A and B are shown apart, each in its own frame.
Chain A
């Protein structure tokens, strides 16, 4: 039995180091987790690793009791319309690290998005976050056409395919290097601790122990993020 009695979904990628640091402060032996980046299942410490956008999926299904993922992932998987169900996971704690901003950016100089809106009534936006982008445009009363891309979003406005992008940025370096400027800040995203609704009831003591331990920590170390 693991010391915490739970299965924890840990995101690979930008939030990985911060998450492992959190696990270490909980007294979990993270040596193998830090060194073996091919292994997925760390049975003896109750950890499974996966890409961040899969964390809510595993936690919702109950394959993991709790997990760590970015607010951007949770927002993207939110219900889109009233009546529709988003991911059924509980959001327990803002872990503070992995701080990034979801922004709308476009090429430096006169904003091409503004011109498109003025002349064509619609702006084209490339993003890996189609739901967040669509929601933002809707909430700000603008017509948009969302172009979903999987790779480097920065490329899309440079080729003239779109007027703007919606993307996550930590330092703004990648945007600057591609001659893009931030036009709007949509939302600040940090790492969140989430829980399965049934595990939250049936393993209440174990989950509460972790939450109160994390809450008691004055400042969770601000680990870098992409």
Chain B
């Protein structure tokens, strides 16, 4: 007899559970070594709680009513519940606060290429630690955790969510056009971006900058000749870079076009890549405004790793497969490493 389960969910059987457990145990030990205490929060939250944050594409997809008629949602994110916990249970506590979690989140994605609606995330939140030191601490832990797991070729993309909006502001892009331009950039549709720039009447040097700057990515040399409107964001990235140990810094790819599809990020944003997988295996960033929405304004930074993606990347590295069939078709295994 076959009894189906909902699309985008799955059962995990002992062989896989063992492998996943090895990853999460290693991550837990790494988070613990750095002083991050593990917390649990309910899978169900009041919809009004998650609605305080600008979750955009990570907005909750599953709603139920409780016996009083209140609307509950399955959490689509762990950062917002932890912000709630901090404001409620740590209202007077000295900062910084360090939390880690291993939790399933629920999103209404169309299940394809391994995207699940129920997704196990392993992450940390560092609350009350401003940039650049807090950002550097989070990046250092991120690299240490992935090293401990045994990933060899991972890289961390580092950008700044405020960079492109600042660029548009200082180049006096029509306010009505900004959301559309940002949306094209989030999808990395540079053809659309160019088209919309023309439609918004942006031309000449301004258009060139808005098209060129978000395509700049590479090593720290990128941070030396940033155009004037991007200087604040780029200076912030340079300060973070200066605080990183060489073995962490060499993992970082600076990406002036990095924007994430979650709206609460305010400053540094990161994404984790591994050549063995065609999609990011984790991400994070600074959310300096989010805690304030819950009544305890504090700067904060965090990241989440997609545990199944980390597992796939590990398996892929072991098999020697990767982006562009590295090792089988092209002989440039390992990419830019």
Listed in ascending order, the chain A residues whose CB lies under 8 Å from chain B are 1-2, 5-7, 41, 43, 46, 48, 60-65, 79, 83-86, 88, 90-94, 192, 196-206, 208, 211
Given A90-B188, A91-B189, A91-B190, check contact A196 B323 (CB 8 Å): yes
Say how far A77's CB is from chain B's closest CB, in angstroms: 10
Q: Which residue of B lies closest to A61 (CB)?
A: B278
A201 and B273 contact, CB distance less than 8 A: yes
Say how far B308's CB is from chain A's closest CB, in angstroms: 15
Residues of B close to A84: CB separation below 8 A: 108-110
Given A65-B323, A91-B188, check contact A46 B330 (CB 8 Å): yes
A201 and B277 contact, CB distance less than 8 A: no
A2 and B330 contact, CB distance less than 8 A: yes
- Check if B57 is an interface residue, CB within 8 A of chain A: yes
Given A83-B59, A83-B108, A208-B215, check contact A65 B191 (CB 8 Å): no
Expressed in whole angstroms, the Cα–Cα distance for A6 and B190 within the complex equals 20
Residues of B close to A65: CB separation below 8 A: 323-324
Instruction: Please name 24 pairs of A and B residues whose Cβ atoms are closer than 8 Å in the assembled complex, sorted by A.
Output: A1-B332, A6-B332, A7-B329, A7-B330, A41-B329, A61-B113, A62-B277, A62-B279, A85-B57, A85-B110, A85-B115, A90-B188, A90-B189, A91-B187, A92-B191, A192-B191, A196-B324, A198-B273, A198-B277, A201-B155, A201-B253, A201-B255, A203-B323, A203-B335
A60 and B330 contact, CB distance less than 8 A: no
Say how far A209's CB is from chain B's closest CB, in angstroms: 12
Residues of A close to B157: CB separation below 8 A: 201
Residues of A close to B280: CB separation below 8 A: 197-198
A204 and B218 contact, CB distance less than 8 A: yes
Which one of A43, A61, A86, A88 contacts B329 once the chains associate, using CB atoms below 8 Å?
Answer: A43
B329 and A46 contact, CB distance less than 8 A: yes
Which one of B59, B330, B337 contacts A5 once the chains associate, using CB atoms below 8 Å?
Answer: B330
Expressed in whole angstroms, the Cα–Cα distance for A6 and B275 within the complex equals 13
Say how far A39's CB is from chain B's closest CB, in angstroms: 13
Residues of A close to B273: CB separation below 8 A: 198, 201-202
Expressed in whole angstroms, the Cα–Cα distance for A92 and B113 within the complex equals 22
Say how far A214's CB is from chain B's closest CB, in angstroms: 12
Listed in ascending order, the chain B residues whose CB lies under 8 Å from chain A are 57, 59, 61, 108-110, 112-113, 115, 155, 157, 187-192, 194, 215, 217-218, 253, 255, 271, 273-275, 277-280, 322-325, 329-332, 335-337
Given A7-B324, A196-B323, check contact A60 B278 (CB 8 Å): yes
Known contacts A90-B190, A200-B188, A211-B215, then 20 further A-B pairs from the complex at CB < 8 Å, ordered by chain A residue: A46-B330, A60-B278, A63-B325, A65-B323, A83-B57, A83-B59, A85-B57, A85-B112, A85-B115, A90-B188, A91-B187, A91-B188, A91-B189, A91-B192, A197-B279, A201-B155, A201-B255, A201-B273, A201-B336, A203-B335
Expressed in whole angstroms, the Cα–Cα distance for A197 and B59 within the complex equals 22
B324 and A62 contact, CB distance less than 8 A: yes
Which one of B108, B110, B253 contacts A204 once the chains associate, using CB atoms below 8 Å?
Answer: B253
Which one of B155, B277, B279, B336 contacts A205 once the chains associate, using CB atoms below 8 Å?
Answer: B336
Which one of B190, B322, B324 contacts A92 once the chains associate, using CB atoms below 8 Å?
Answer: B190
Say how far B197's CB is from chain A's closest CB, in angstroms: 13
- Is chain A's binding surface mostly helix, strand, loop or mixed? mixed
Which one of B194, B275, B279 contacts A202 once the chains associate, using CB atoms below 8 Å?
Answer: B275
Most buried by B among A62, A93, A206: A62
Residues of A close to B155: CB separation below 8 A: 201-202
Closest CB pairs A-B (n = 6): A62-B278, A202-B335, A90-B188, A7-B324, A62-B323, A91-B189
Residues of A close to B187: CB separation below 8 A: 86, 91
Residues of B close to A199: CB separation below 8 A: 278, 323-324, 335
Residues of A close to B271: CB separation below 8 A: 201
Residues of A close to B192: CB separation below 8 A: 91
Q: Which residue of B lies closest to A192 (CB)?
A: B191
B330 and A6 contact, CB distance less than 8 A: yes
Residues of B close to A196: CB separation below 8 A: 278, 323-324
Expressed in whole angstroms, the Cα–Cα distance for A7 and B215 within the complex equals 20
B336 and A204 contact, CB distance less than 8 A: yes
Residues of B close to A83: CB separation below 8 A: 57, 59, 61, 108
Say how far A91's CB is from chain B's closest CB, in angstroms: 4
Say how far A76's CB is from chain B's closest CB, in angstroms: 14
Say how far A195's CB is from chain B's closest CB, in angstroms: 8
B279 and A198 contact, CB distance less than 8 A: yes
B217 and A201 contact, CB distance less than 8 A: yes
B325 and A5 contact, CB distance less than 8 A: no
Residues of A close to B218: CB separation below 8 A: 204-205
Expressed in whole angstroms, the Cα–Cα distance for A121 and B110 within the complex equals 31
Q: Which residue of A lies closest to B194 (CB)?
A: A94
Residues of A close to B332: CB separation below 8 A: 1-2, 5-6, 203
Expressed in whole angstroms, the Cα–Cα distance for A84 and B56 within the complex equals 11
Q: Which residue of B lies closest to A93 (CB)?
A: B191
Say how far A170's CB is from chain B's closest CB, in angstroms: 20
Say how far A134's CB is from chain B's closest CB, in angstroms: 16
Expressed in whole angstroms, the Cα–Cα distance for A203 and B218 within the complex equals 10
Say how far A71's CB is from chain B's closest CB, in angstroms: 8
